[in-house]
């Protein structure tokens, strides 16, 4: 509740019924543009994995996973927190080659997330992954991929405005790129979130790269698990969100670890015990393809385009009772 924002004189541009129609339009339109831009195939994906598989996303390494025993299957199952590792295994198993990729509708539960205007314990996103060559493991290739995604967002928004004239505003099609260290140097007295707001307010569309390592200040811009993104080749994509007068992260993505960067990052995090898992062994033995991938928040994208003040206006989830009441008082109607 301490992070809940109630915009003054807030009113949703669309009715509840119009909102449901617009959510479907955004999801249908955006994923078509995404798969065309990145050459992706739609595949099915798991909701649950074995807890001892090493496949589940550990996020920052401290979040508790939703787990349970099964009636007829030995072991413990976990609800996924994302599919960062699973997708790379799938590309290998299904025989995808350079320039080809996959995407899926990923639904996850993150029980330890702090719920607020932009965070829910229910996570829905497009998870995607694409094979690349070692020569493409560089900043230029990362930037080109980011621009493809950003352009798909902006082009979808033009369609939304045409279909729903009550939607106002605009997005910057040109992405401003900056590293997390450059951003800290620019705003040394701000928190990470304050820096994100400042730079995105100025440029509209921003990609902050190199997230996960400790900065000169001795702090991280944000946490990253050590075993999927290469911290020197990753980042977050932000758009300026008028309803909240703040930046809104739409995508976290990156070029994935190879054998060298995996061991380096595991050692930094004192997590070398993970090398016992099949996924980590396959990377260290160069058996998995080199890839780039990420997640794009479905509800966040809808929230952004429809100028909604709370993610609960475009998805159904669970919220604290006092949050529901505060939102109602502020004319924010949660689904």
Q: Which residues are catalytic?
A: 57, 110, 125, 236, 249, 252
Which alpha helices (H) appear in the chain, and where do they start and end?
Answer: 16-38, 84-94, 139-163, 180-186, 192-203, 259-268, 278-284, 298-305, 321-329
Identify the bridge partners of residue 79 per DSSP, sorted by sequence position: 48
Tell which residue, 59, 133, 89, 128, has the closest CA to residue 277: 89
Question: The tokens of 16 are what?
Answer: 């509840």
Residues 210, 139: Cα–Cα separation, whole Å: 10
Residues 119, 223: Cα–Cα separation, whole Å: 16
Question: To 10 degrees, what angle do helices 298-305 and 139-163 make?
Answer: 50
Tell which residue, 271, 26, 246, has the closest CA to residue 124: 26
Residues 281, 287: Cα–Cα separation, whole Å: 8
Residues 172, 150: Cα–Cα separation, whole Å: 9
Residues 213, 195: Cα–Cα separation, whole Å: 17
Question: The tokens of 235 are what?
Answer: 């980042």
């Amino acid at each position: 509740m301490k992070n809940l924002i109630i915009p003054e004189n807030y009113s949703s541009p669309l009715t509840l019924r119009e909102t449901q129609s617009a959510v479907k339009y955004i999801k249908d339109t955006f994923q078509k543009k995404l798969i065309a831009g990145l050459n992706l195939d739609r595949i099915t994906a798991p909701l649950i994995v074995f807890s001892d598989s090493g496949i589940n996303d550990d996020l920052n390494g401290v979040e508790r996973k939703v787990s349970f025993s099964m009636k007829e299957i030995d072991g413990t199952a976990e609800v996924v927190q994302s599919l960062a590792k699973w997708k790379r295994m799938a590309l290998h198993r299904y025989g995808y080659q350079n320039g080809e990729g996959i995407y899926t509708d990923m639904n996850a539960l993150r029980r330890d997330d702090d719920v607020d205007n932009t965070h829910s314990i229910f996570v829905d996103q497009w998870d995607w992954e694409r094979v690349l060559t070692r020569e493409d493991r560089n900043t230029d290739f990362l930037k080109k991929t980011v621009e493809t995604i950003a352009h798909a967002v902006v082009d979808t928004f033009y369609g939304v405005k045409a279909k729903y004239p009550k939607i106002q505003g605009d997005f910057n099609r040109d992405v401003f790129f900056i590293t997390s260290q450059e951003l800290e140097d620019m705003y040394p007295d701000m928190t990470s979130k304050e820096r994100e707001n400042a730079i995105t307010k100025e440029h509209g569309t921003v990609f902050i790269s190199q997230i996960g390592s400790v900065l000169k200040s001795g702090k991280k811009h944000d946490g990253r698990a050590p075993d999927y993104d290469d911290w020197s080749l990753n980042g977050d994509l932000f758009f300026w969100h008028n309803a909240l007068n703040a930046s809104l992260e739409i995508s976290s993505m990156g070029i994935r670890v190879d054998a060298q960067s995996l061991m380096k990052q595991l050692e930094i995090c004192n997590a070398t015990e993970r090398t016992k898992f099949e996924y980590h062994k396959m990377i260290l033995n160069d058996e998995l393809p080199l890839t780039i991938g990420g997640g794009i928040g479905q509800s966040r994208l809808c929230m952004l385009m429809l100028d909604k003040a709370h993610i609960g206006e475009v998805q159904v989830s669970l919220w604290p009772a006092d949050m529901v009441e505060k939102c109602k008082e502020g004319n924010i109607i949660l689904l």
